[in-house]
Chains A and B, each alone.
Chain A
Amino acid sequence: MSGIIRVGVKVMPREVILDTQGRAVEHLLKQKQMHVSHCRVGRFVELEFATESEKAALEQAKVIAETVLHNPLIETFELIPMTNGR
């Protein structure tokens, strides 16, 4: 174990916000005859922490997501624990 924990942060636009990227991709898919009923585009951020504790990593990731990675007014976020170590 190298003592590295990775946490993913999934950031998505809130439903009330016009998801312009999702809309543009949806248009393209329609042109390509690749039918989806809805498409939304967000962002995925991978954070790496030099720790053995997943709990500590998740706590730090939460602070980072809350204060920097997402704007609560227009976005939501979700923490996704990823494979431990390398």
Chain B
Amino acid sequence: MSRSVGVIRFPGTNCDRDVFEAVQMAGLKAEWLWHLDRFEAKKYRALVLPGGFSFGDYLRAGALAARSPVMDSVREAAKSGTPVLGICNGFQILCESHLLPGALVKNESLRFQDEWVDLTVVNAHKAFGSNLKSGASLKLPIAHGEGRFYASEAELKRLWDSGQVWLTYKHNPNGSLQNIAGVMSDDKNVVALMPHPERAMKAWMGSEDGQIIFKTLESIL
């Protein structure tokens, strides 16, 4: 029996339904997970943390969600090789969980930004969009107030050297250091991006590039 993709919800997550639909559009089964849930490490084909404002962004964006019970299971699943994707607030949660390096801080513009961006694939991820070639372009929308990727200079260098930079902005919208829009963990199981692939699944939405991110999950058994 093929395993489903776990979509994790926290109080305040608001892109959950879109992600659930996007997973189904890719021909896969999706299953809800709640912030209080625990699950076995190998239960899911992949896990997705959708965007939103988990716990109202209290303390720091993603800080309270990162310390929720479900994240202990996410950590175990990631360790056992399950691919984990964070989108927007999901990215912030994964950084706060120390599953990803760096932090997301306020946009340089001081504003919430909602616009289309062009991205370059620096290193393809092995599960999410695995058929993308390095140098490929993606068009996806962003919608965030705190999406400026920050890491120390030494850490940034390490990310580039070890192939952990996933995506960069062609035109930096938020002041992210070195135009970084998405990164991967040391072992490359965990990956996240600030743009929203689930909002670019059909031509009428403005782009279909989001499909690429979810479609390649099919090849994971």
Contact = CB atoms under 8 A, between A and B. Distances in A.
Main secondary structure of the interface of B (DSSP, over half): loop
B110 A71 contact: no
Given A24-B110, A71-B96, A73-B152, A17 B105 contact: yes
Interface string B128-157: 000000000000000000001011100000
Contacts, number: 28
A64 to B, nearest CB: 11
B103 A71 contact: yes
A73 B106 contact: no
Interface residues of A, number: 10
B150 A69 contact: no
A69 B59 contact: yes
Which residue, B67, B106, B107, has most C-beta atoms of chain A within 10 A? B106
A56 interface: no
Interface in B96-115: 96, 102-103, 105-108, 110
Contacts of B103: 71, 73-74
A18 B105 CA distance: 8
A17 B110 contact: no
Contacts of A73: 102-103, 150-152
B126 interface: no
A63 interface: no
Interface of A: 17-18, 20, 23-24, 68-69, 71, 73-74
